[in-house]
């Protein structure tokens, strides 16, 4: 029996040949097979069947860091786990959240409950699972400083609870997930109640809206900043110095608002993105001798 037949038999539905364009914030032209998992039990079943069928797969959060391929050769899973918003009725020491909850939901709760520390999540389009995988953060800090525990399902279908701290993360990456691990739950702490949190979030969102192309089709920053003991080299500043802001290649454009963002103006593909990024990376290396590592997953 094939993998899809096994999934069907277990009551898990597959949407074959689905238009996935809107499943990534960059809106690249994309089709592929989608498997939506709605409970932890379904995640466990999926993992066991993927292992026994030796089936590779991709994990989609908000797709805010993943430009998708034109025709995916592996299925994508997307989590749609039940979430009871009552958890944000009051201030608690910790919040255990399904991995599919959006950071926008968390910042809005933080603003209302004045949860100190949660302002670091302001304006990042992400699911909380994707944010943990990427150690998402802003100039105000990273999600690493809020994490207490992560619940994950490994490739054998075992559920594990990992107690974590900041050293389990580094810049825009985690140091504990295996490629096939699926995070299903995240527990976050805060640093007390601070009446200023809502103002901090509002001000930071205003700043972001002015300095980043928040309404364009992008996948966030193209390149990670290059961090060494001596200094931080910001990719956007170097692209700007080269005068490349606004440069177009096919239907892609280096954002005129922030040089480290690549905008899809319509109907671009992952191949176009790869080609353009290769060119920009080459220019950066040639002019400044710095090898910037892509931040978006290409
Ligand atoms: C306009 C814009 C602004 C942005 N600004 C920022 C910013 O300020 N700071 C920042 O850090 N990022 C920023 N980003 C990038 C993006 O928001 C982050 O990388 C975010 O963490 C991606 O989360 P996601 O849910 O979309 O994950 P995806 O992009 O869908 O996936 C990212 C990675 O996480 C893995 N993953 C997702 N969910 C799970 C799960 N449940 N279990 C295991 N692995 C999983 C995927 O396999 C993939 O490898 C921005 C993006 C956009 C479009």
Q: Which residue's C-alpha comes closest to atom 51 of ligand 1?
A: 220
DSSP alpha helix (H) spans, the chain: 3-9, 40-52, 103-113, 128-134, 197-211, 235-241, 270-288
Quick one: how far is CA 50 from the chain centroid?
Answer: 23
Confidence of residue 231 (pLDDT cuts 50, 70, 90): confident
Largest CA distance in the chain: 58
Asked whether the predicted pLDDT for residue 50 surpasses 80, the reply is: yes
Q: Which residue's C-alpha comes closest to atom 45 of ligand 1?
A: 130
What H or E segment, with its residue span, contains residue 18?
A: strand 14-19
Residue 298: what pLDDT? Answer: 84
Tokens at 253, concatenated: 């454009």
- Does the Cβ of 99 fall within 6 Å of ligand 1? yes
- Ligand 1 centre and the CA of 16: distance in Å? 24
**Cα–Cα nearest to 59, from 87, 28, 32:** 32
Average pLDDT of every residue of the chain: 96
Could you give the CA distance from residue 203 to residue 206 in angstroms, rounded to a whole number? 5
Report, as residue numbers or ranges, the catalytic residues: 172, 221, 295
Decide if 241 contacts 252 (C-beta within 8 A).
Answer: no
Residue 233: what pLDDT? Answer: 87
Mutate to test the pocket of ligand 1, among 42, 61, 159 (most ligand atoms within 8 A of CB): 61
Cα atoms found within 13 Å of the Cα of residue 78, Cβ hemisphere only: 21
Could you give the CA distance from residue 73 to residue 75 in angstroms, rounded to a whole number? 7
- Ligand 1 centre and the CA of 196: distance in Å? 27
Residue 29: what pLDDT? Answer: 97
- Tokens 């302002």 locate to 119
Q: How many CB atoms lie within 10 A of CB 161?
A: 10
Mean pLDDT (whole number) for 172-187: 97
Residue 1: what pLDDT? Answer: 63
Residue 151: what pLDDT? Answer: 98
Decide if 14 contacts 4 (C-beta within 8 A).
Answer: yes
Tokens at 110, concatenated: 């933080």
Could you give the CA distance from residue 55 to residue 46 in angstroms, rounded to a whole number? 10
Higher pLDDT, 55 or 233: 55
Question: Which is the closest atom of ligand 1 to the Cα of 216?
Answer: 1
Residue 237: what pLDDT? Answer: 95
**Cα torsion angle, 223, 226, 231, 235, sign:** negative
Could you give the CA distance from residue 30 to residue 267 in angstroms, rounded to a whole number? 9
Asked whether the predicted pLDDT for residue 83 surpasses 80, the reply is: yes
Confidence of residue 297 (pLDDT cuts 50, 70, 90): confident
Q: What are the tens digits of pLDDT across the range 119-157?
A: 999 999 999 999 999 999 999 999 999 999 999 999 999
Asked whether the predicted pLDDT for residue 244 surpasses 90, the reply is: yes
Asked whether the predicted pLDDT for residue 52 surpasses 70, the reply is: yes
Asked whether the predicted pLDDT for residue 59 surpasses 70, the reply is: yes
CA dihedral 208, 212, 216, 218 (to 10 degrees): -110
Q: What are the tens digits of pLDDT across the range 258-283?
A: 999 999 999 999 999 999 999 999 99
Confidence of residue 226 (pLDDT cuts 50, 70, 90): confident
Could you give the CA distance from residue 151 to residue 140 in angstroms, rounded to a whole number? 26
Could you give the CA distance from residue 204 to residue 122 in angstroms, rounded to a whole number? 7
Tokens at 147, concatenated: 């994490």
* Percent with pLDDT over 90 in the chain: 95
Residue 232: what pLDDT? Answer: 85
Q: What are the tens digits of pLDDT across the range 202-214?
A: 999 999 999 999 9
Could you give the CA distance from residue 250 to residue 252 in angstroms, rounded to a whole number? 6
Asked whether the predicted pLDDT for residue 87 surpasses 90, the reply is: yes
Could you give the CA distance from residue 56 to residue 204 in angstroms, rounded to a whole number? 39
Asked whether the predicted pLDDT for residue 229 surpasses 80, the reply is: no
């Amino acid at each position: 029996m094939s993998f899809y037949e096994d999934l069907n038999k277990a009551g898990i539905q597959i949407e074959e040949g689905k238009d996935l364009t809107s499943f990534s914030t960059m809106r690249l032209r994309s089709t592929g097979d989608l498997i939506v998992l709605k409970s932890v039990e379904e995640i466990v079943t999926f993992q066991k069947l993927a292992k026994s069928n030796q089936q590779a797969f991709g994990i989609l959060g908000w797709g805010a860091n993943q430009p998708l391929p034109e025709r995916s050769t592996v299925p994508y899973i997307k989590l749609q786990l039940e979430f009871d918003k009552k958890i944000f009725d009051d201030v608690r020491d910790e919040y255990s959240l399904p991995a599919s909850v959006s950071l926008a939901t968390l910042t809005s709760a933080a603003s209302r409950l004045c949860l100190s520390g949660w302002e670091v999540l302001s304006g990042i389009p992400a699911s909380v699972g994707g944010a943990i995988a990427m150690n998402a953060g802003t100039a105000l800090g990273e999600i690493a400083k809020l994490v207490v525990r992560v619940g994950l399902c490994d490739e054998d279908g075992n559920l594990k609870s990992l107690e974590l701290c900041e050293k389990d993360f580094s810049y825009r990456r985690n140091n504990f997930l295996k490629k096939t691990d699926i995070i299903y739950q995240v527990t976050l702490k805060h640093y007390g109640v601070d009446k200023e949190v809502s103002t901090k979030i509002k001000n930071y969102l205003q700043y972001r809206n002015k300095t980043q192309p928040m309404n364009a089709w992008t996948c966030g920053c193209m390149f990670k900043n290059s961090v060494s003991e001596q200094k931080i080299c910001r990719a956007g500043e170097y692209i700007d110095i080269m005068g490349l802001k606004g440069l177009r290649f096919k239907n892609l454009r280096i954002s005129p608002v922030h040089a480290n963002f690549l905008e899809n103006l319509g109907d671009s593909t992952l191949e176009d993105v790869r080609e353009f990024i290769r060119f920009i990376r080459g220019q950066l290396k040639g002019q400044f001798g710095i090898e910037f590592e892509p931040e978006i997953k290409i």
